[in-house]
Amino acid sequence: MSAALRRLARAPQAPWLHAEVARRMADKLQVIVLKPERLIDWWSELGAGAGLLARAYPRALRVAVEPDVVWVQRARESNRKPWWSPQRWAGGSGAVVVEQAGDIPAGAQLVWANMMLHAVLDPPALIARWHELLSVDGFVMFSCLGPGTLRELRALYERCGWPAPTPGFVDMHDLGDMLVQAGFADPVMDQETLTLQWDSPATLLAELRTLGGNTAPDRIEGLRTPRWQRALERELGALAGADGKIGLSFEVAYGHAFKGAPRVLAGEATTVSLADMRAMVRSGHDRAREKRPLR
């Protein structure tokens, strides 16, 4: 994946598909009542959601987490404000902090991760880390590619006896199970399939390169020959419909879930942070007020 990240970092902007999915995911923020004061934007530059988050939560402190030092530098340059900008001197109001995925302080009310979960080696571990970084009642919202992505291309490779052109994408129901295993409450999963079309095999392959790379573990590591590329373009051309366009499917999975107060069972030794304990006490007081009869 590091090679794909380096190639994407050389592009002038994030893939347009990431930006479109970010826009669709941002529409789902309207159903969330909580207004975060501090949020974590995971793989911010590649996720293309910074502007959407700034408009949704203009006063929130945004922590932009990037996968490596190259992306950290790129994010710092894109978030650098001129000396006369009010946001430069606003402190915690609308400010941006850029960090590499290392020691990120906890206590955020939102973890936002657009179009990146399918690119990590251990999704359950990352989801568990998101849970640790959130405060009680905070929420995670993410999107990623699902197993229906490029199914036509995978069938073509299998028919030709070639190794898989994509990694094994995780089903959205399994992602929901990972959220529950990590301790999240009320997970909501959804998915949609987008069909993209191209006029020729050459334009199709050129655009696929801008969306990332093949991180399948059994992919061929060496360079392919011109003869093989001609064979691939011939097979792709055979996929064209009556209108002459070649269509490929992209399944996009969306998910969000909340971090509930930790459950303490009698008779068990339990370690609870001071912040979580305060949240549990507040939650108990709120429930008591709800049950108090009106006079």
Residue 282 pLDDT class (50, 70, 90 cuts):
low
| C-alpha to C-alpha distance for 228 and 213, rounded to whole angstroms | 18
Q: What is the pLDDT of residue 287?
A: 46
| C-alpha to C-alpha distance for 178 and 176, rounded to whole angstroms | 5
**Ordered DSSP codes for 221-232:** -SPPPHHHHHHH
Any idea where the domains of the chain sit in the sequence?
A: 2-150+164-196+251-259
| C-alpha to C-alpha distance for 15 and 115, rounded to whole angstroms | 10
The CATH classification number of 2-150+164-196+251-259 equals: 3.40.50.150
pLDDT in tens, 53-72: 999 999 999 999 999 999 99
Q: What percent of the chain has pLDDT over 70?
A: 80
Q: Which of 168-177, 208-217, 240-249 has the lowest mean pLDDT?
A: 208-217
Summary mean pLDDT of the chain:
86
| C-alpha to C-alpha distance for 261 and 208, rounded to whole angstroms | 43
pLDDT at residue 87 above 90?
A: no
Three-state DSSP class for 267? coil
What would the mean pLDDT of 133-151 be, rounded to a whole number? Answer: 97
Burial 174-210 (b: 16+ CB within 10 A, else e): ebbebbeebbbeebebebeeeebebeebeebeeebee
pLDDT in tens, 10-55: 888 999 999 999 999 999 999 899 999 999 999 999 999 999 999 9
Residue 262 pLDDT class (50, 70, 90 cuts):
confident
User: Helix, strand, coil % (nearest 5) of the chain?
Assistant: 40, 20, 35
pLDDT in tens, 173-214: 999 999 999 999 999 999 999 999 999 999 999 999 888 776
Q: What is the pLDDT of residue 215?
A: 65
What would the mean pLDDT of 134-162 be, rounded to a whole number? Answer: 96
Q: What is the pLDDT of residue 136?
A: 96
Q: Which of 26-30, 138-142, 276-280 has the lowest mean pLDDT?
A: 276-280
Q: What is the pLDDT of residue 153?
A: 96
Q: What is the pLDDT of residue 167?
A: 85
Q: What is the pLDDT of residue 99?
A: 85
**123: Cβ–Cβ under 8 A, 6 or more apart, which residues?**
117, 170, 175, 178
Q: What percent of the chain has pLDDT over 90?
A: 63
pLDDT at residue 89 above 50?
A: no
Q: What is the pLDDT of residue 290?
A: 44
Q: What is the pLDDT of residue 85?
A: 47
Q: Could you tell me the strand order of the sheet in which 96-100 lies? A: 96-100, 61-66, 38-42, 108-114, 134-145, 246-259, 184-198
Whose CA is closest to 118, among 145, 148, 150? 145
pLDDT in tens, 103-117: 898 999 999 999 999
Classify residue 24 by burial, with Cβ atoms within 10 Å: 0-12, 13-18, 19+.
middle
